[in-house]
Every structure is written in structure tokens, then in C-alpha cells.
Amino acid sequence: MHQLKLSILFFFIAKTLSAQTTYLYCGRILPISGEAILNATIVVEGNKIARIEPGFSRAPTGAEVVDLKNKTVLPGLIDCHVHMEWELNRSSYNERFTLNPADIAYRAAVYARRTLDIGFTTVRDLGGTGVNIALRNAINSGWAIGPRILTAGRALSITGGHADATTGAKWDLFDPPGPEMGIADGPDECRAAVREQIKRGADCIKVCATGGVTSLARDGTLPHYAQDELNTIVQTARDMGIDVTAHAHGDEGIRRAVEAGVVSIEHGTFMSEATMDAMIKHGTYFVPTLTAAQAVSDSASFAKGFFPEVVRKKALEVCPQIKLTAAKAYKKGVKIVLGTDSGVSPHGTNNLEFGLMAEIGMKNADILRAATLDAAKLLRIANRIGTLEVGKLADIVAVEGNPMEDIRAMVRVVFVMKDGKVYRQ
């Protein structure tokens, strides 16, 4: 019996040790920072890249070997704008009255797994009910499977603005939402709203600087926050070590947000060239969310009854413009990173953004940087992820084909590793 216990113990020790070292035999490596590497081995120890060796190195006994000799290997992908809690459908506008937090959480876990399976090992969640914070914690603790999440918790909005979920409801159905729910008017409430989201565990702050498309308010582009309110939001967040990003469609709201010091503009539909110049001056990133714009435009145009009429009108006005603006911003030199607004578009279709970015004229190399290194810089975690380098976290994906030649290869993800653990092979 004693011998049997020892054998079982040694078996589990050996299994644990072998799981800590993985040899990836790679036909082509696109490290993002540097030239492509042909026929090489990435050695992963624990959750980090230990070595990148020329040729296909002999793996020691017990190490896991993954054959990617006919694949292109890249860093794990990063989506800088998702909503993991929900997915737009014909019932979405009623579900806010019927779904409990537990219902939302079960769906969010499914959406998270879909997102990881297509190669996105890190995402920035820009607004939900707070379940997004719980989902992040569950993934970090191993209770759920999904990408690494940086989350804003609840988005900040004026009363009746884009993130005010009580808009369109019977007047006495809800208590008036306040700063604890992300609804803030005036500098003092804005300051309180930022502190509340950070208290609840937010990694960043999202502010709705203008109206939006999918909310029931009739305005989709007008500025919603005054300059002093935006300044207060950004300064309060900075004092607590947190960045702010701004949802913004109309140019005046975009300009105010840029001047306040937000790190990125989401959507940016009617951005003027003068505002683009201001973004270049301040180093502000642009997240065009082309996939969501395409999905909303298509649903408004071809799916009768998909949206309430107030939303349909805004969708037809706003969404077709985003590609034109993004193309102009890219040519002008505005820093662009990948963000899909998944949730508005279906989760698991994030890879479509690569092709849409090519359609606006972006070079393949720039698109890949936008989904890896540049995105990691925006999120201030480029020291940990975004490139395939020794010492960085082992977030690694492989695709069929060569995306430097054909960006459509990015929809053919066949291997996903996050934090040194294989999730798709």
C-alpha cells in the first residue's frame, strides 16, 4: 500500500512538472517586434516564454510538444472594446426587464469562451452591470475560461444619456439612477461616479461623451458632458491610477474628451480633421469598432423590426460613416488599435475586424500591430504581452496561412495558448 501511494504521488508530480514546459514547433513566427522567424521553437516554461530557438529543438522527456510547423504563430490577440455581458438581438430591449445578474453571468461565461477560442487572449470590457468585474475575477481565479479582462465596470453617462438604462422605460418603474450606477451630472457627481467604479474593481473608466446608437435616447451624436465634467472625470481617475476612454460619435464631444486627456476614442464617427490633429498631438488612440458598425448598419437596413424605430434611424445615419472616418484618420497618422464592440456584434466574430481594417486602407503589418503590440501599449501592459519575446507571458496563437500576405488568415485560428496553457489545438 505504501508503495502504491508513492507511485501515485510520483505520477502526479511528474504530470505537474511536464505541464510546465511546452515546446512549440513553429513554421513561421511573427513576433510583431522584429522580423519574421522561419522554422523555430518557442519554449514555454510555466506561463512565460523561456526561449526562442532556431530549428525544431529536441524536447526533453515529459515536455509537451505542439506541432505548428505549417502554421503562422503570433502573439495572443487583443480586443480593446467588448461587452462580455450581453449580445444584441431582437429581444435585447426587453431583456433588461427580465434577466437577473445570474442569467447575465451564465451568458457572459459562454461569450468569454467564444472570444478566447478565436485567439483573443486579452480584452477590454467597456461597460456592463458589474457582472463583467465578477467575470474577470472568475477567469483570473480559474473558475471560468476566457480571455484576460480589463474592465470599466459600469460606463459613465449623463441622465438620459447613452448608458442610462432607464431611458424609454415607464417613468416610475426605476428609482432615478445616480453616481453609484454610473449616471452622473455635474463635476461633483462625476467625481463620485469615478470613485465608485474604482471601488467596485474597475481597471479603467469609460465615459459616454456623446449620445449613442443602440440606446433608446433619440440623440446619437451631440455632446453630453461639458468640459469641466470631462476634466473632472479624467483627473479623478488619474489621481487613482486609472485611465479614461470615451465613447463618442460627434466631433464636439470627441474634441472635448481629447482635450480632457482620455487615452482613447471609441467609434469617433464624425471626427473632424482638426480633432484628428488634436489626437495626434495628445497621443490619443482611436478604436473604430468597424465590426459593430457593420453589424448595426446591416441589421437596420435588412432585418425588419430588429431595432426600435428610434434606434434604426440613428443606425442608418451613424454607422456607415465610421469606415470613412477611420480611413481618413489612418492616412493622417492617428494611432489606431483593434476594438470590435463585440456584444453589439456577435461574440466570436471579432476576427472580422481584420478584414474591415484592410478595407479602410490599413497595411497588414499595421493591422497586426493594432491587435497586439499597439493595443498592449494602450492598455499599459506591453511589458507583459503584445509581442513574442523571452520573459513575456505565453499568450500565443497560430493561424492557417500568412496574414502578412493575406489578412484573411486571421479568421483561421487553429491554436490558442493563454498564460502558458493550451485552450485550443
Domain boundaries, the chain: 12-75+388-424, 77-378
Residue 174's pLDDT band, with cuts at 50, 70 and 90, is confident
The amino acid at 157: S
CB within 8 Å of 11: residues ≥ 6 apart: none
Q: Would you say 312 and 93 are in contact if contact means Cβ atoms under 8 Å apart? A: no
Instruction: Report the pLDDT value the prediction gives residue 15, as an integer from 0 to 100.
Output: 45
Q: Identify the residue with better confidence: 302 or 116.
A: 116
Q: Say yes or no to pLDDT of 96 above 90.
A: no
Mean pLDDT over 166-176 rounds to 79
Residue 358's pLDDT band, with cuts at 50, 70 and 90, is very high
How many whole angstroms separate alpha carbon 294 and alpha carbon 316? 10
Q: Say yes or no to pLDDT of 218 above 50.
A: yes
Q: What mean pLDDT is reported for the chain?
A: 93
Residue 352's pLDDT band, with cuts at 50, 70 and 90, is very high
CB within 8 Å of 113: residues ≥ 6 apart: 145, 146
Nearest residue to 156 (alpha-carbon basis) of 178, 134, 131: 178
Residue 19's pLDDT band, with cuts at 50, 70 and 90, is low
Tell me if residue 423 falls in helix, strand or coil.
Answer: strand
Tell me if residue 320 falls in helix, strand or coil.
Answer: coil
Instruction: Report the pLDDT value the prediction gives residue 13, as an integer from 0 to 100.
Output: 45
Bridge partner list, 37: 29
How many whole angstroms separate alpha carbon 260 and alpha carbon 166? 28
The percent of residues above 70 in pLDDT, for the chain, comes to 96
Instruction: Report the pLDDT value the prediction gives residue 82, as an integer from 0 to 100.
Output: 98
Burial class of residue 77 in the structure, from the number of CB atoms within 10 Å of its CB (0-12 exposed, 13-18 middle, 19+ buried): buried
Instruction: Report the pLDDT value the prediction gives residue 49, as an integer from 0 to 100.
Output: 98
Q: Say yes or no to pLDDT of 17 above 50.
A: no
Q: Would you say 93 and 99 are in contact if contact means Cβ atoms under 8 Å apart? A: no
Instruction: Report the pLDDT value the prediction gives residue 101, as an integer from 0 to 100.
Output: 95
Pick the CATH number of 77-378 from 3.20.20.140, 3.40.50.970, 3.40.50.300, 3.50.50.60: 3.20.20.140
How many whole angstroms separate alpha carbon 203 and alpha carbon 189? 20
Q: What is the pLDDT of residues 308-339, one digit of tens each?
A: 899 999 889 887 899 999 999 999 999 999 99
The neighbour count for residue 9, using CB atoms within 10 Å, is 10
Mean pLDDT over 51-73 rounds to 97
34-38, 307-311, 339-343, 399-403: range with lowest mean pLDDT: 307-311
Q: Say yes or no to pLDDT of 2 above 70.
A: no
Q: Say yes or no to pLDDT of 347 above 80.
A: yes
How many whole angstroms separate alpha carbon 253 and alpha carbon 159? 16
How many whole angstroms separate alpha carbon 286 and alpha carbon 296? 20
Instruction: Report the pLDDT value the prediction gives residue 3, as an integer from 0 to 100.
Output: 55
The amino acid at 71: K
Q: Would you say 415 and 425 are in contact if contact means Cβ atoms under 8 Å apart? A: yes
Instruction: Report the pLDDT value the prediction gives residue 167, as an integer from 0 to 100.
Output: 83
Tell me if residue 305 falls in helix, strand or coil.
Answer: coil
Mean pLDDT over 337-365 rounds to 97
Task: Specify the pairing of strand 335-336 against strand 285-287.
Answer: parallel
The neighbour count for residue 58, using CB atoms within 10 Å, is 9
Residue 216's pLDDT band, with cuts at 50, 70 and 90, is confident
How many whole angstroms separate alpha carbon 10 and alpha carbon 132? 40
Mean pLDDT over 230-256 rounds to 98
Nearest residue to 42 (alpha-carbon basis) of 67, 55, 20, 25: 25
The percent of residues above 90 in pLDDT, for the chain, comes to 82
Mean pLDDT over 158-168 rounds to 88
Instruction: Report the pLDDT value the prediction gives residue 416, as an integer from 0 to 100.
Output: 98
Residue 106's pLDDT band, with cuts at 50, 70 and 90, is very high
How many whole angstroms separate alpha carbon 242 and alpha carbon 342? 23
Kind and range of the H or E run holding 286: strand 285-287
Q: Say yes or no to pLDDT of 247 above 80.
A: yes
Phi and psi at residue 35, to the nearest 5° = -80, 160
Mean pLDDT over 108-123 rounds to 98
CB within 8 Å of 199: residues ≥ 6 apart: none
CATH superfamily membership of 12-75+388-424: Urease, subunit C, domain 1 (2.30.40.10)
254-263, 290-299, 322-331, 368-377: range with lowest mean pLDDT: 290-299
